[in-house]
Amino acid sequence: GQGLGKRQDGIAEAIRVKVKCDTAGVGHDAAEPFAFHWWDHVFNKAAANIAVEAGQDGISVKALSEQGGRISNKKPCKSSRTGALLYGRFVKSATLTACGEESVTLPTGSESSEEEEKLDLSLTDEELVQACGGRTAHKGARHGLTMSAKLARLEEQERAFLA
C-alpha cells in the first residue's frame, strides 16, 4: 500500500512484464493482408487475357488463353526461377585436393557452362594487378601502406620452406 524509498513516495506495485502472445517475428506487418488489394490484380489479369477486335461484322471478344487464373488474396510471387538463381551465379572451376587442383567438367547443355565460356579466367597474378592499375583489396593501401615488410617476411618463409 505504501510507496518504496526513504520518503515512501516510490511505486507501490511491481512493474508487470508484458507477455508476447503472437507468433509474428521482427518486421511483421499485421496490416499487410488488408493492404494488398487482390481484386485489382485479378481484374487486371482477366483484362489482359481479353482481346477486343473490331471487324466488318462488328466487335469480337476473344480470350487469349483458356487457362483460368488463380484467385488468391496473397501477393503473387515474382518468379519461380528465383530459387534456381539463388546459387546459379556461382561458377565451379576446380576442386582443391591434397594432390593439387582437379578440374571439374560440367554436363553439356547447362547454363553455367555457357557463362564459363564467356569468362576469361586465364589471367596470371601479374596481369591481374596490371589490369587493376596496381590496386589491391588491402584497405590500408588507400592510405599508402604497402605492407612491404610483411611481404618480405612471407617471401623469406617461402624460400626457407622450398629449400
Domain assignments of the chain as residue spans, ordered by start: 121-162
What's the mean pLDDT in 30-35? 79
Of the pLDDT bands very low, low, confident and very high (cuts 50, 70, 90), residue 29 is confident
162-to-41, 155, 156, 158, 159 alpha-carbon distances in Å: 68, 11, 10, 6, 5
pTM of whole model > 0.85? Answer: no
Decide if pLDDT at 162 tops 90.
yes
Cell output for 136: 589491391
pLDDT given for residue 108 in this prediction? 56
Cell output for 135: 590496386
CB hemisphere CA count around 25 (13 angstroms): 0
Express as a percent the part of the chain with pLDDT over 70.
Answer: 71
51-106: pLDDT as tens digits: 888 888 888 888 887 766 666 667 766 655 555 666 666 666 777 787 878 877 65
Of the pLDDT bands very low, low, confident and very high (cuts 50, 70, 90), residue 34 is confident
**Distance separating alpha carbons of residues 131 and 108, to the nearest angstrom:** 32
Of the pLDDT bands very low, low, confident and very high (cuts 50, 70, 90), residue 161 is very high
Mean pLDDT for all residues in the chain: 76
H or E stretch at 94: strand 94-97
**Distance separating alpha carbons of residues 48 and 103, to the nearest angstrom:** 49
38-55: pLDDT as tens digits: 788 888 888 888 888 888
Decide if pLDDT at 117 tops 70.
no
**Distance separating alpha carbons of residues 5 and 12, to the nearest angstrom:** 10
125-136: pLDDT as tens digits: 788 777 777 766
DSSP state of 109: T
Decide if pLDDT at 3 tops 90.
no
37: helix, strand or coil? coil
Q: What is the dihedral of CA 77, 82, 86, 87, to 10 degrees?
A: 160
